[in-house]
Chains A and B, each alone.
Chain A
Amino acid sequence: MDLFLNLVASGLVIGSIYGIIAIAFAIIFKTTGVLNFAQGEVMMLVAYTSWSLATSLALPFWLLVPVTILAAALIGVVIEFVFIRPMSGQPVFSIVMVTIGLAITLRSLIIMIWGPDAAPFDASVEGGLIEIGPVVLFSEQLFALLLFCAVSAAVYLFFRFTRIGIAMRATAMDETSALLMGVDVRRISSLAWAIAAVVSGLAGVAFAVMFARAPDMWFQGLQSFPAAILGGLDSPLGSGAGGLIIGVIAALSEGYIGHGLKEISGFIVIIIVLMIRPYGLFGEKELERV
């Protein structure tokens, strides 16, 4: 039983990371219709930037988070402006190809700047081991869980109540109508990339704090992909929940069945789920009024 609970807990922790990245996938997909294959790399870039800020300026952790958010937003806006803005009006498939190219470029860029070696992220969360009943977690792991809750809540409130959040949903539903309401649709796209960079970047920092900042972190982006599909790509919160589900399934299948299953279990789950619900667990069905 203890093994089971500990597996679930570590599944939830890694699932939080998947979930947050999946939220970032969903935000960009929902507002612009583009599947950003470079989300994992954007996450890695933000984590590396944050690491550099933390080591060079010796920032305390509470200060590092807001600074990272600012840097991430800037990275998101610049990437959107340089790579995505010139592609507007092109078929979505072409833009998706650009994001694949962007992914590989960012990976190489990071190795060029920071080198191929991993390094520990020292600005770690203090607290050491925390015991909750039979479950033992590091404070860094607890941070990831809390971050997931905070990001989910913030994303929910943003899309539900703020005017710009409602405008982003509106743009996703009917771009021309949004234009006619006076929404500057280009700014919405840039904002979506900024938010996605911030959200996934925080996940990157949480991940780097738990393990290390290393040039293979982008793989978490690929792992989050089934989470976003599972939850429904047009539903940020659903994608987040999908992340938790995939994380727990990965941890359980690794713990009980075998070592290699961690990476593929998520993909097996989405294949089965999509056969039953093609729009994902929490995705929006096309609304039709007859």
Chain B
Amino acid sequence: MLRLTNVQIMYDRSIEAVRDVSLNVEPGSIVALLGSNGAGKSTLLKAISNVLYPEEGEVINGTLAFEDADLKRIAADEIVRRGIVHVPEGRRLFPLMSVEENLSMGAFLKTQAQMKADLERVYTLFPRLKERRNAVAGYLSGGEQQMAAIGRALMAEPRLLMLDEPSLGLAPQIIDQIFETIVALNKEGRMSILLVEQNASLALDVADYGYIMENGRVVLDGPARDIAGNDDVKEFYLGFGESGSRKNYREVKHYKRRKRWLS
């Protein structure tokens, strides 16, 4: 469905954010893209949505294909029309508009009738949003904002939903609820999902396939179960030692603590 090959992305033609990344999303699957801050995950999502140019970012090499379309050549609105919808990092709601106006913006490319139907669908999925439909989006709690951001994306009826750190800054209970919704969308709505996360155990739990990025490169990929079972991933992303017990980082030998995938 989505196929990236050897993608290289630079900011300002001088800072390399992503190098030689290849990534596939198969129809109906959940793909997790993991990695620490600054690994290039969000940059990759922005490249797929073709919204890098306001930040002076540019895809220098490689191809980004969605079905038979070359994503580098079509504008952001056409990408949304073709079915890729991106929930940006930090929610990015329109802060001074009401929840319902935010949601209706998600259906910008749809007809009035489709919008009405989708609005009902989103309200059934997130009853909390219906209660707060007239509230100013900027004053919602973090969890409500994330629901509104996902709801807004669903209004565009995506076939591939890209979520950028949906768990960021939320209480564990809310995170569970959000992830349950994501799985439900995938299982019942047959929606493909590309999930960017820092919370590796959570993401690998729901994903079918995983990629780990570091310093702009994919350092490990495989079925989510294999990745979750990998010793290095366990130690550096999931927080378990080889014995499966918790680890005190002060006692880890210096050279080991500094181990990275590429050094």
Contact = CB atoms under 8 A, between A and B. Distances in A.
Contacts of A179: 49, 51, 54, 76-77
Given A166-B105, A176-B92, A182 B97 contact: no
Contact of B101 (A166, A177, A184, A284): A166
Given A174-B92, A176-B54, A181 B97 contact: no
| Most interface-central of A169, A176, A179 (chain B CB within 10 A) | A179
B106 A181 contact: yes
B160 interface: no
Interface string B76-114: 110011000110100011111100010011101100000
Interface residues of B, number: 29
Contacts of A284: 96
Q: Is the interface of A mostly helix, strand, loop or mixed?
A: helix
A167 interface: yes
B80 A180 contact: yes
B156 interface: yes
Contact of A181 (B75, B80, B139): B80
Interface residues of A, number: 21
Nearest to A182: B80
A183 B75 CA distance: 10
Given A173-B97, A289-B138, A182 B92 contact: no
Given A167-B108, A170-B105, A289-B139, A180 B88 contact: yes
Contact of A177 (B53, B77, B88, B136): B88
A170 to B, nearest CB: 5
Interface of A: 89, 163, 166-167, 169-170, 173-184, 284, 287, 289
Interface of B: 49, 51, 53-54, 75-77, 80-81, 85-86, 88, 92-97, 101, 104-106, 108-109, 136, 138-139, 152, 156
7 contacts: A89-B54, A166-B97, A167-B108, A174-B92, A181-B108, A183-B105, A184-B75
Given A177-B93, A284-B96, 7 more contacts: A166-B105, A174-B94, A179-B77, A180-B49, A180-B88, A182-B81, A289-B95
